[in-house]
Amino acid sequence: MLRQGGILFDVVLLVEGKPIQAHRILLAASCDYFRGMFAGGLREMQQTEIPVHGVTYTAMMKLLDFIYTSELELDLDSVQEVLCAATLLQVQDVIGFCCDFLFSWLDDDNILEVEKLADIYGLNQLGEKIRSYLLKNIQTFSRTPVYRKLPAEKILSVLSSNELEVSSENEVFEAALHYHYTPEQVEKDEVCLQDPLRMLEAVRFCLMEKHVLQRLHSRLKQCPLRESVAAALRYHSQELWQPVMQTPLTQPRCSSQCILGFGGMYSSSALVDNEERFQVFHPSWGEWRNKNTSGFRAESRCWR
């Protein structure tokens, strides 16, 4: 009401040479930038006209709209300049809204641009959302040209994550190759696996099927990849020793953990008759629960 009625204005912000009237107390209460300016003993405390550099007039008007009404209108044309202004003036709520808006429009075509914005402005919140997007969509996204333009460190971190959502480790192997070669080259087998391909460091070859590893091993001459595949084959061949052969590269990709408890050795009929002997604990449950064992068959590799 004060703003609409032009009542009690006590400061004029000069943005791109254009005057914008405002109230010091609201500006200081809304962001650290103006709080430091008006309550930190700076010369601006005595000035009635204050130039604001580094922001556009449009972005400043949108920030003031938010300060006065707690409402913010964003679109693809203005979100970057609003984000720039909010970061400079330290309006945290607007920064959060801009991050949410950008993430809502995130897709394979604009992820590179959004990733650059997150990096330029140090937006950890947006960076985490981009990472979440990659973890969930790596199989399809790795087949796009944009995938190979993202920083190698970021992609390596995603491919190495336990939270990577894939149906098998073969998909991780393909995604790793797609960073170095186009999908067409991979499909036509126009790749040189003898070369040191960095993204292959993230592949957990021990989780791949044995016949796939054997076929891959037979194609390779002496190279780092051949040694990794050979180590995975040794892991497969020593099932009884697998519990003491565990490394980060043998762990299944899962963001949560589940413990299976076996109470001794029973025949399958005994298990069906007494289901309390087979229980499952999951962190989200916070307790042990009985598990229906009908059709269950314990194997020597159950710890995998």
CATH of domain 1-105: 3.30.710.10
Stretch(es) of the chain classified as CATH 3.30.710.10: 1-105
What digits encode the pLDDT tens for the residues 157-170?
999 999 999 999 99
What gap in Å lies between CA 59 and CA 85, rounded to an integer? 6
Count of beta carbons in the 10 Å neighbourhood of residue 40: 12
* Position 209, amino acid: E
State pLDDT tens for residues 115-154. 999 999 889 989 999 999 999 999 999 999 999 999 999 9
State residue 272's pLDDT score.
52
pLDDT in tens, 232-289: 999 999 988 998 999 999 999 986 666 655 555 545 555 455 555 566 666 677 777 7
CB 50 within 8 A of CB 14: yes
